[in-house]
Structure 1
């Protein structure tokens, strides 16, 4: 129920929220070269955002989305609307970067370290001893085209920019005088009767002549064109293609296997019991020495009778969490305990007592009671996985060399893609009927929807010469070169070929016009007092739409209704026709459970804070003179 509430906040507050996702790799605000006016897409404080920067940012975002959700449709991610969202984010990044500079917001080292330590990706690069595996860390960053310094600087900027809007959101206060009416309006119910006027009901009343069809055809020639198409062949060079040609030695596989076992060792669990004698952090040296002497005496007693460990732990341990359980701490992994305790526990053998272990809490005596080790996979069972990982690792370097060869071969031997395919072990692919907007055939290669590739394929020179295109970067570590085999310009199809299609379109248009005209006429008549023939009444709300389209529900719930009088609403349903509704009465919201009401108030307060942050961002855009230089 509240998810719907969240999605349609505009109906309450009249504000459109655009979720602000601050990019991970940010673009600076200095040092932009002057560019031709046709290459500018936006300006922020007089600094240009170029089309190339937009293309790069959008390509990176598309690849990240596809990597995290492989089932997404690339064509949708490459749409004009998706590119505009990317541009809005670039603008927001520039604006917030300027704001952090002018407000003198910086990210201290401690804050950066905390952010890095909480990053689960970085946590996966830690060795069994808890230290960061710098080699793997650096390799991962190189794969993204970054150095550790660039990554950390970008993270600093990201944290600082988040603080600009976080300060506004955190200080937001939603007055009760606003919250209560808003929630009441949102959960309001109305009893309505709805009459629909659908085009299908008026088709039989439409009569068209051949002359009408001819006239409609001539007036809408562009609707009856065969689209411009090209039959192409193309080559794809990516990491997978490079990896297929790589071989790895058995020695390398063995070394990788040992690394894998070391990684698995981190998952070893140990169970221990302990007796803790606490020492206050500010205790005097004499007091600390006294506690240590007591701990040593207790350890000596345990060495004589280790079977009494649980008994003595219950009687002497000052750890309130484990004393009652005989000191038992259950199973734990590396990183779960303070380091002196962990080091001692993982150095013991099962049943062994430790020496005194001093930590920030005091003095511990530890007895290791059990060890749970992960199963050790055999080399052969991991061989395929190890080979795949090594190839992926080596392919990054090999790809750079192959990419240079690829670009040179498709350029130097431009009459055919075969030399490049043979040299690099690639398969020549083909696509018939490719359009300027991208592929339309089911199951077509998603790479062919890339705007830069389409622009290259449909360039005048490529269409005319039928020679190889240049190598086009369509994604991270992914190049495509293509060659046009046949080009078919857009052409108007003859009327004889499309007459049935033209007639159907004309009939649908006129039926829609009749449906809307009838609906509007009935609305005026019924409002004037004529007897209304309406379906049975139903109760609708934003939470229970009763199968009605959302625009219709919104119109019904926002229509003016005078007390004691029915209200009327006419709603244009677009291609679905027209609807006329009588609002019989406004009903109070159903009683909400206290928890539901509180959840609604909290979510409304959160959205209010988001609205204030968004409003502040819009004010910053105005302050920094943001200009959009392309059509929306």
Structure 2
């Protein structure tokens, strides 16, 4: 058999076939080598090379096609940012489980894909962003400014405070990428415009006003007529979804609250003193220094000649300052730090805590008061320093902070006891996950009960959104297991178990009978109110004036001239109905009705329509409207561009990595 196989795989035809098979395997190997074989992206945007737009998609992507990736880290960072925004906006109502929905994840991913599409389109268009544009964007960022001017120290400090810290070089490249990505949308937006004719037509509609008359009908009396059994059954059969018994649960729970735990009865003086010594730095304000400086800027990437010229200038200024020249005047005339130049180079007092770049800080804390030193090199260039003041550190004695330490110690003891107790509860529930009573008995806490209650009417601890979500969660309801500790407040949590669950179900007619009768009567009353409104509209359509009808029927009546579109008067629904009514013919009025809620109605007539007139709009408002319409149109055009690019590019999404 082996000999036959060897014979069949020899010869030029077999060699050709094997050679063709090797090619794709070779490319796969190259791709694995270049990417490391790791699944580090959740989406990829790919496009053929600009010099071969018709390159087939099956061609080895890593060799020819251009690509942008949405990495897992990028997606997680964007998703977490949205989570924080939603949590801040919704407060306690924020549901982390609901937020983790596939729709939310896809929404974030689609935004990131659009950004990558723009980035790839910019690359293919040959867009480049120069250093000057990057520096201008950074220096104009308000967060990096002091007194309205760019401050290198503020810039450095903010980048260093990020988690993890961001180097200036990395931040500059991030800004370069952002500017490159935004150049096409900005160009589309800036080039879009609204003509004067389009704006006039838009304002003719948006600026339209209507002169109306409106009358409020009196409430229809309560319906007290009998409701037959046949009507009851007919209404119940047709509206069964309105008469459902909501899902409800009953709970048993154990409450763990640090505030109810016994406080320590004795104070360990030695422990307090040890705590004071261990944490003494908390009670001592560090030494600070007030420094004035002159900055001769020279970027770290500048050439040797530029660096040398800056150093020589700083050295010359150092000699002038040491020779008695006014340091503040030298700073105003020569310093290139816009944040301190106008104040004679003086900076706010700072401690040796990394708030300044290290060479600057080291030099400042090695100087004596009044000393002048320079040149001192940093990432920003060369500095000339003058130490103007040393502010010594000051501390508080043990006796001064004893009460504070004692309160902290008591809080720590209570927190430790709380954590120990919570841990014991968890350990006990792990022994018997479907019963809470043994755990309560083992730790000496009472087993409490709550409910039954529906989701829309929580009581007691269930008023906490976190507890309510857990109480109706699929895991606790179906499995009957004990929950993990659920935090209600700091050092205050509960462990719950669903002891009874009643799913949503239709109420039997006998139980829903009173509600059905009330619904039938409410429907009768609503229909009677609508019929009364229709009758008045019919009279108005025949030519009677609303003022006359209102006087005859003793209705509350108002004339409202110049009503604007979108004004909630008397309600938003009423305004919408009034502007949906047809224009009245010359010398006539258009009648209509609108429901105001609670079975009440109003009737109205549109007596006159006045179109919006651009000529009457102030120039400033006209210009503002033009800008808003252009921005709106530009946004639509930009999205259309992105959508068109997405159709030209190849977008692959890896749902399993979200």
Q: How would you bin the TM-score normalised by the shorter chain?
A: 0.5 to 0.7
Task: State the Cα distance separating 1:297 from its structure 2 match.
Answer: 3.7
Task: State the Cα distance separating 1:233 from its structure 2 match.
Answer: 0.8
Structure 1: stretches of 5+ with no match in the other structure: 1-25, 31-55, 121-125, 139-147, 149-155, 303-307, 463-467, 627-632
- Between the aligned partners of 1:586 and 1:454, the Cα distance in structure 2 is 55
Query: What do residues 130-150 of structure 1 show as CA deviations (whole Å, max 9, x unaligned)?
Result: 89689x869xxxxxxxxx9xx
Q: 1:176 aligns with which of 194, 199, 202?
A: 194
User: Which residue does the alignment assign to 1:327?
Assistant: 344
User: Which residue does the alignment assign to 1:344?
Assistant: 363
User: Which residue does the alignment assign to 1:193?
Assistant: 213
**Change in CA separation of 1:371 and 1:604 when aligned onto 2, cut-off 3 Å:** farther
Q: 2:473 aligns with which of 442, 454, 478?
A: 454
Normalised to the residue count of structure 2, the TM-score between the two structures is 0.57
User: Which residue does the alignment assign to 1:229?
Assistant: 248
- Between the aligned partners of 2:241 and 2:308, the Cα distance in structure 1 is 95
Are 1:366 and 2:366 an aligned pair? no
Task: State the Cα distance separating 1:97 from its structure 2 match.
Answer: 5.6
- Between the aligned partners of 1:78 and 1:279, the Cα distance in structure 2 is 49
- Between the aligned partners of 1:487 and 1:454, the Cα distance in structure 2 is 13
Assess if the C-alpha contact under 8 Å between 2:592 and 2:603 holds in 1. Answer: yes
Q: 1:410 aligns with which of 421, 429, 436?
A: 429
Task: State the Cα distance separating 1:416 from its structure 2 match.
Answer: 3.1
Where 2:323 maps in the other structure, the secondary structure is helix
User: Which residue does the alignment assign to 1:73?
Assistant: 93
Are 1:353 and 2:372 an aligned pair? yes
Alignment of 1:387-398 (within 5 A): none
User: Which residue does the alignment assign to 1:28?
Assistant: 42
Assess if the C-alpha contact under 8 Å between 1:187 and 1:543 holds in 2. Answer: no
User: Which residue does the alignment assign to 2:533?
Assistant: 519
Are 1:90 and 2:105 an aligned pair? yes
- Between the aligned partners of 1:536 and 1:284, the Cα distance in structure 2 is 79
Task: State the Cα distance separating 1:541 from its structure 2 match.
Answer: 1.9
**Change in CA separation of 1:253 and 1:599 when aligned onto 2, cut-off 3 Å:** farther
Alignment of 1:121-140 (within 5 A): none
Q: 2:564 aligns with which of 541, 554, 576?
A: 541
Assess if the C-alpha contact under 8 Å between 1:569 and 1:580 holds in 2. Answer: yes
Alignment of 1:121-270 (within 5 A): 168=185, 171-172=188-189, 174-177=192-195, 178-183=198-203, 185-197=205-217, 201-204=219-222, 207-209=225-227, 211=229, 214-215=232-233, 218-219=236-237, 220=239, 223-224=242-243, 226-235=245-254, 257=279, 270=289
Q: 1:309 aligns with which of 310, 326, 329?
A: 326
**Change in CA separation of 1:375 and 1:28 when aligned onto 2, cut-off 3 Å:** farther
Alignment of 1:541-620 (within 5 A): 541-542=564-565, 544-545=567-568, 547-561=569-583, 564=586, 566-573=589-596, 576-587=599-610, 588=612, 594-612=619-637
- Between the aligned partners of 2:368 and 2:345, the Cα distance in structure 1 is 16
- Between the aligned partners of 1:324 and 1:257, the Cα distance in structure 2 is 39
**Change in CA separation of 1:104 and 1:474 when aligned onto 2, cut-off 3 Å:** farther
Structure 2: stretches of 5+ with no match in the other structure: 1-39, 45-75, 124-130, 144-153, 167-172, 551-556, 654-658
**Change in CA separation of 1:98 and 1:223 when aligned onto 2, cut-off 3 Å:** closer
Where 1:440 maps in the other structure, the secondary structure is coil
Task: State the Cα distance separating 1:63 from its structure 2 match.
Answer: 7.7
Assess if the C-alpha contact under 8 Å between 1:230 and 1:432 holds in 2. Answer: yes
Aligned residues: 517
Query: What do residues 74-126 of structure 1 show as CA deviations (whole Å, max 9, x unaligned)?
Result: 5xx589xx76x954332223445666777775999x99xx99xx999xxxxx9
Structure 1 window deviating more from structure 2 (201-210 vs 161-170): it is 161-170
Query: What do residues 383-415 of structure 1 show as CA deviations (whole Å, max 9, x unaligned)?
Result: 4897799999999xx89x978x86774354256
- Between the aligned partners of 1:312 and 1:78, the Cα distance in structure 2 is 58
- Between the aligned partners of 1:536 and 1:525, the Cα distance in structure 2 is 18
Question: What value does the CA root-mean-square deviation take over the aligned residues?
Answer: 6.4
Assess if the C-alpha contact under 8 Å between 1:100 and 1:164 holds in 2. Answer: yes
**Change in CA separation of 1:506 and 1:625 when aligned onto 2, cut-off 3 Å:** farther
**Change in CA separation of 1:272 and 1:376 when aligned onto 2, cut-off 3 Å:** same
- Between the aligned partners of 1:351 and 1:99, the Cα distance in structure 2 is 57
Assess if the C-alpha contact under 8 Å between 2:249 and 2:453 holds in 1. Answer: yes
Normalised to the residue count of structure 1, the TM-score between the two structures is 0.58
- Between the aligned partners of 1:393 and 1:132, the Cα distance in structure 2 is 33
